[in-house]
Amino acid sequence: MGGMGEEEIVIMYHYIEDKVFLKDMKYLCSNIINQLVQLINNDSLMEVEAHLVGSGAKNLITQNSNEPIDFDYNLMIIDSEININNCREIKEYIRKQFNVILNKNGWNDCMDSTSVLTTEKRHFTKGNHTEFSMDLAIVFNDRNGCHRLIHEKTGVTAWDRYYWNSVPDSRNLFDKVAAIKDEHLWDEVIDEYLEKKNMYLRRQDYNHPSFNVYVETVNQVFNKYFD
């Protein structure tokens, strides 16, 4: 018998099939994120709303083999008393508010990574024991599309860079999603999204966050039928 090639043993993404686990995980995580939205919106410094990546579509939650699951949220800034270009102050404010809510719910403080605020990994004590965590990206939209807040770390805190990074081809994203769903073409987005996730995994390309893959997929399906 011939040996397996490297490509044959690459572990691939799949959609989560345990609907009970998915429902419980989504309820827990979304409840925490909604508490964060309420806390910030009641503070008068900023108005925000949160979206599960994939516009909350439950069929876009993927897992790589049995590894922990990252539940990806975008915290979108609608309005802000903090200057939108003061990225350091914006991220620090949201990070501290997130920690307030996490601690209130028995979670440890989040970690500040380059493009997201990441929670610790948790698992349910009953049923499916797969570990999961939340990744919270800070974003805002303007006429040029969607922008993601980046914290570029240098090893010296005072020298760190904070800036808005444009998500490629994200202009009119929500309108495109609505058009695709109106024409009952969402299943094609689901299929293509999984194919792209696995394509980047096979290439060992880790520079495509879930939201970027989602935007790329929506654009591809939209252009196929509407452009």
Parent domain of 24? 9-169
**Sign, CA torsion 207/83/135/56:** negative
Asked if the structure places residue 14 within a domain, the reply is: yes
Distance between CA atoms of 190 and 150, rounded to whole angstroms? 28
Q: Is residue 215 part of a domain?
A: no
CA proximity to 193, closest of 104, 62, 100, 49: 62
Residues 147, 85 contacting (CB under 8 angstroms): no
**Is 80 among the domain residues?**
yes
Residue 49: which of 112, 139, 114 has the closest Cα?
139
**Can you give the CATH number for the domain in which 129 is found?**
3.30.460.90
- Tell me how far apart the alpha carbons of residues 70 and 213 are, in angstroms, rounded to a whole number: 15
Per-residue pLDDT of the chain (227 residues; tens, 9 = 90+): 444 444 445 578 888 888 899 889 999 999 999 999 999 999 989 999 998 875 455 567 888 877 888 888 999 999 999 999 999 999 999 999 999 999 999 999 999 999 999 999 999 999 889 999 999 999 999 888 899 999 999 888 889 999 999 988 888 888 998 999 999 999 999 999 999 989 988 888 877 888 889 999 999 999 999 97
